[in-house]
Structures are given as C-alpha cells and as structure tokens.
Structure 1
C-alpha cells in the first residue's frame, strides 16, 4: 500500500513534505519518484485546489526530484526534526472540519458513550439495553425523512433519545472544527492523546478536499482521534475531546479527482484499520463508506455555502463506521489506546496512513502556523 508502493499508476497524487533549510513544499508522485512541484503560481495546496483542473496541472507540472517514495517514507518517523525531509499533512491553509455520527452503527456507540457518561465499566450493560431497543431499526434510514421521525418518536418513548441520534437521523449533520490550519500531522508522525483521557480510540475516515467554491477536488485518509470519556461526559467538551496537539492525522496524499477516480470511488471506499500495541495486542477494524447515512456531497454542502464561506477551502472528515468494542484489557471495557500503539489506516485507492500514538504533551509542539508559512513563502520568492 502507499506510501510504500504505488499500486495504482493511474492515480494523480499530491501531498506536502518538509525540506530541510527550505520549508514546506508541494509534491506529486511519479512511479516511486517524489517530485517537488512548488511554484510561484501554485505555492500551496490551497492554491492548487483553487484551479479548475488541478489533476491536469499536477500531471503536467515540471519539478525537482526529491528521491524515492520509499526513502521518504522511511525518513518520516515520529521524532523527525526540521533537519530531515519528511511527510506533512497534505492540507495547509484549509480549515479542518469533521462530521460526526454519519453511520447508524457507530451512532449507537455514541449513544452508549453518552449514557455511560465516560465510564467504560458501564458501557457493556448500556450497550445491551440500547441494542435491545434499537436493533437494526436505524440501518438504511434516511436522515430527516418521515421514517426517521417515526423512529425518533419510538426512541423518545423508550427514554433512549440522544443528541447523537438527533444529528444522526435528524435533518442537520454534525459538523465541527477538528483542527486548526497547519496543525494536522502527516504520515509517520506521532498522533496525540490528551493526558486526561483514559478511554479513547482511533477513527479511520475518508477526508475530502474542498475548495473555496465548495467543489470537492479529491480525497485522502484521516485519523480523527477521539477521547470517548471526555466527549461522553458532555458534548460541550467536544473541542477538548477532538482538538489537541497532534490529535489529527491526514495523508499521505490527496488523490485528485480525474477520469480514473471520483465521488463514485469515495462512496464505495472500504477502509481497513489495524492497531498494533507494544503489549502484543492487535485490533483489526473496518469502515465501509457504502453504509454512510449521508452523502458526502450533502455533508460538504452543509459545511460550506451562503451560510458559511471558507475562502481557503477546507478538508472534511466524513465520519466512520468503526466501533471500538473489542475488549483489550478487561471484559466489557472495550478498546482504549496505549502509548506506543501503531495505527495503520488503509484503502486501496488512497494508500496507507500510519502513525504512532503518544500523549499530546509528548508529541512535538505545533509551532509552524500561518504567519510562519507566509514569511517562509515570501522569503523563497513564492508570494
């Protein structure tokens, strides 16, 4: 899988790397060769996605060879510094947004989190009760439909209605800010857990790249790291549960839409998750986009429009089917991360995103923000 092997020669891939003594650069992949295509006309990912046809631009772009993809992947370790070339998250100036509760099966787990109020010991008991009442009644339901509203009435009568069900089957999607521009980490980097959390998990997701006009230009992989205990205590703690140092991983590349890849492939994507712990524990998970309750284009439209503009575009996490219920330590407590876990998220069209779990306080601090990027580009004569 990518980034180690380009299994699909038709793919138009674009990403970002850090080059020592230069800074962030826009790259594409040609075979196993990494090409720097940064230019004064297109110095950032934001500028690339604003083009009418970014895929054609990337295929035709003249650039500088940076060596092999295999070498770049090996260099992109979790503790690399500015003196080593390494992957960055492919987004730069874009807002990083995320949609929650977009799959019926994972929606049930959110209800359990809320009912358990962050207590993993109570989760199994509540899981059995909720599934007994709900069963498969949410499978295939269209959010906001008359059928959904009838289900809502039944659940309210059973005392099981939840704010998560409201955004899961109601008319309005949950869209929140996952990370600040330029704060996401890329392939190989450490991914962070806030140290207050004792119950947390990865969330393997498709991330779509959207420009300022609301046009979806491509897709990539993401890990929307989630603190189940923090969010479970109160939905008002969503920001604390989601947006922390190194808690958002994206990459390795954006696959641009072209004749060989588009929304049809996004909507049928099959994601594979593997977590390998230093304790020998292995978790295998899966998320199928065929089971999403809301169309990706609708999620993008609910994010950006006359009601809200994004002049630099945005990257949008689409949610996950994965429910972390496999027990790791004690029966009924489900899964939680341990420091040192290696998380691999892969999809045949998009490659592999791999990161190692650390505490956010132990991950490298985020210091390169928008002002630093502007000064860097200006110093290189790219603005």
Structure 2
C-alpha cells in the first residue's frame, strides 16, 4: 500500500531508495505514480539537491530512470533483496527540538502537581491565571507573558528545567541521531533494552540547507525513553540516540507552489499505535499550537554560532504525550514489542514503523565513509 494518497503524489517529492543492483542508495522522486531515480554527477545525494537555489524546480525536470511504481516499492520489505525506501536524508545532521508546545507542558506540570485531582488542578490553574490572565492557554515562548508565567509557576513551586526551555527565551535543541543512521518508512524502530517506559513522538521534520533556508518537510518519530530521560536530563543522549531510534519519512516534500512553510504551521498530525494484542492508541498533534515558530527554531539551531555545511533535518517537537493506561492502572502508556506506529498528516503522507529493541533491529553499518566509496565506485563523485 502506498504511503501517499493520489492527491499528495502531485507534490514535489525527494527521497532515497536502496537499489540492490547497485548495492547502495539512489536519489529518487515521484512522477505519475512511478519512482524515478534521478541520481547524477550533478546531484549524487539528497544533500546536493537541498543546497540548490530552487530544489523543487530541479527535481521536477531532472532526467532519470523509472525503477518501479510507488506501490511496488512501498510493498518491498526494508532490508530485502528488492528495492526499498530509506530515510530521505543522507549527509544532513539530524537535530531535534524539545518542549516546543508550552501550553501542554504547563498543563501537564499543573496536573502532576495536583496528583491527579481535577479540583486541585483547577484551583492551581485559577491561582496561576490570576497572575497571568489567559496566557496560560496561548504562551509565546520568550515573551513578556511567558516571563509572567515563569514567575507565577515559581511561586507555585512548579518551575523546572523543562519549563525553562518550554517558555524561556532559549529553545532546547539536541542531537537526535548520527548522519545516515535514521530509518525510513517500513523499517523497525528501536527501543534501548534498559527502558521500561517509552512512547512514540509524532513530529514534523524540516529539511534545512547549510544557509538556513527551509526547503521542505516530512514526518518523524522521535522515539522517546521517558524513564531514562526522567532519571536525569544528562541522560538525554542515551534516551534519544540509539540504533534505529530516529524514523524520518516517508519522503521530503519540497516546498513549491502547492506546499510551503505555512502549510507546516497548520499541519495536523495523527498517531496510531496498533499492538499485536489488539491494543490501539490514537493521538493528535496540531502544529498551530507550537510555542516557537519553525523559523525561530531554525535560527536558534543554525547561524553564526553554529554551522552545518551539509544542512540538517530538524524535528520540531510534539504536542502529544500518551497518558492513558495500557495495562496496569496508573502506569500509563508504554510500548510493547511488535507495536506498529503510524504517523500521518495531510500533505506529508504516512510514516509506518514496527517497534523492536535497538539491539534486535538491523545494525547501522552504512555510514558516510561507505557512501563516499559507493558514489566514487559508481563514478558519481
């Protein structure tokens, strides 16, 4: 089954497919339902196209060879001896933003403070509201209103380092995964075996050039180990960067007349988790509720203070945090092996992955040095 609807296929798409005849990746686009290999000496990598002045215009006219229909290649298992989709990025650094939906973060902390008692939560919310008015429902991070929220929450004993990055002037931006380590549609996503409390995080992922220009977007699963990070914020890297812990895809939708950054700002993301035991979890995240504009997050990541010569992929954060009990009352949600996670958004398609342990997912063995040797061997460098 295709990961794009017929109407979505009309967009300008950029991705990567593993070609068994070359034993390596190729750069592809979609044309009339067919997957077209547009790899060339001009642009042997996705990174090269994203650095162009008009990536979408290049992709629409680049010569190439049809390697199959979208439905055929989507149906091929990842890792098989048939052509299959990979994560759509290659040399881009993979970064992620945290705590970018301040309203939900403040609400969650208030509820935790109330120990699950709705009446106490409402009382705390009312006391905070007396100081900050209605800005609790619409906080702009780093604003004067956010400063008032901070002061009110400190007085309530609710302040934390997470709320500092949620409504303070500085965003949380961390390294999510290594270059070329992300997995794509249909692949397994990995949980570190030390974790017993974890969840998916459905997000929009921006494609950003080395000059800080946002050239496209796709979907991502910022697999989250809640217990590991909860023990200490200094364990963030262990909680976030493990084998197969970053899913990106299904393809990059390049910005053009049909889809642009304003569409990202209005994006509505749906999450569905289906367990082998028949369990189903559904969730939703609205980008309109983000507390930091995507362009601001890019500016805080890339600039005179930090350069990314091959560009970057930037997860924008999520509003979704599953709290409903899966098994034991009071323990909330956590993954089980074999869960199938589908993240979807109109205009960006569907990203589906199966949950396994990082130690059991296919090991990451194709890094930048392997890519360079492969491209050189094909005479593309």
Indicate whether the TM-score tops 0.5. Answer: yes
Residues 110, 158 of structure 2: 8 Å contact kept: no
Give runs of aligned pairs for residues 219-230 of structure 1, distance below 5 A: 219-230=217-228
Q: CA RMSD in A?
A: 2.0
**Bigger Cα displacement from structure 2, 8-17 vs 233-242:** 8-17
Deviation per CA, 1:102-129: give whole Å up to 9, x if none.
012442487589x8xxxxxxx9936866
Give runs of aligned pairs for residues 32-111 of structure 1, distance below 5 A: 32-77=33-78, 80-81=79-80, 83-108=81-106, 111=109
Residues 209, 219 of structure 1: 8 Å contact kept: yes
Match of 1:321 among 319, 322, 326: 319
The TM-score normalised by the length of structure 1 is 0.93
C-alpha distance in structure 1 between counterparts of 2:380 and 2:98, whole Å: 37
C-alpha distance in structure 2 between counterparts of 1:264 and 1:76, whole Å: 34
Residues 179, 243 of structure 1: 8 Å contact kept: yes
C-alpha distance in structure 2 between counterparts of 1:132 and 1:35, whole Å: 59
5+ residue gaps in structure 2? 127-133
Give the direction of change, closer, same or farther, for the CA distance of 1:131–1:330 in structure 2 (3 Å limit). farther
Residues 204, 221 of structure 1: 8 Å contact kept: yes
The TM-score normalised by the length of structure 2 is 0.93
Give the direction of change, closer, same or farther, for the CA distance of 1:130–1:144 in structure 2 (3 Å limit). farther
Give the match's secondary structure for 1:138: helix
Match of 1:216 among 182, 200, 214: 214
Is 1:14 aligned with 2:14?
yes
C-alpha distance in structure 2 between counterparts of 1:361 and 1:257, whole Å: 37
Match of 2:192 among 188, 191, 194: 194
**Bigger Cα displacement from structure 2, 21-30 vs 48-57:** 21-30
Residues 112, 127 of structure 1: 8 Å contact kept: no
Is 1:150 aligned with 2:148?
yes
Give the direction of change, closer, same or farther, for the CA distance of 1:110–1:309 in structure 2 (3 Å limit). farther
Give the match's secondary structure for 1:125: coil
Deviation at 1:260, TM superposition (A): 1.1
Question: Match of 1:125?
Answer: 115
C-alpha distance in structure 2 between counterparts of 1:302 and 1:174, whole Å: 9
Is 1:203 aligned with 2:201?
yes
Give the match's secondary structure for 2:159: coil
Q: Matched residue pairs, number?
A: 372
